[in-house]
Amino acid sequence: MHQSIPAAFAAREFAEVGGLMSYGSDIADAYRQVGIYTGRILKGSKPADLPVMQASKFELIINAQTARTLGLTVPQSLLATADELIE
């Protein structure tokens, strides 16, 4: 922000504290998947026999206040696809 350089981040926390935007996996969903995977192992599945899991839900967070501060106009099409808009 100090250098007026817009930046995108992988974690939503950066957008929440002033970053322009974030796009990355939903951490809550990732923890849910870890729980399911762990449950399968505790029920007797061999870890080597389980499929590799990857993120299935991603979220786009845009900080509109930061965009205004930087003098940027975020395209309406991008705003429409955002999961959350921080005013």
The pLDDT value recorded for residue 1 is 64
Query: Percentage of residues in the chain with pLDDT exceeding 70?
Result: 98
Tokens of 86: 């921080």
Angle CA(20)–CA(25)–CA(28) in degrees, nearest 5? 110
CA torsion sign for 43, 44, 50, 55 is positive
Its pTM stands at 0.75
Mean per-residue pLDDT of the chain = 91
Burial grade of 7 (CB within 10 A; 0-12, 13-18, 19 or more): middle
The pLDDT value recorded for residue 23 is 96
**Contact criterion met (CB below 8 Å) for 18 and 63:** yes
The answer on pLDDT for 55 being more than 90 is no
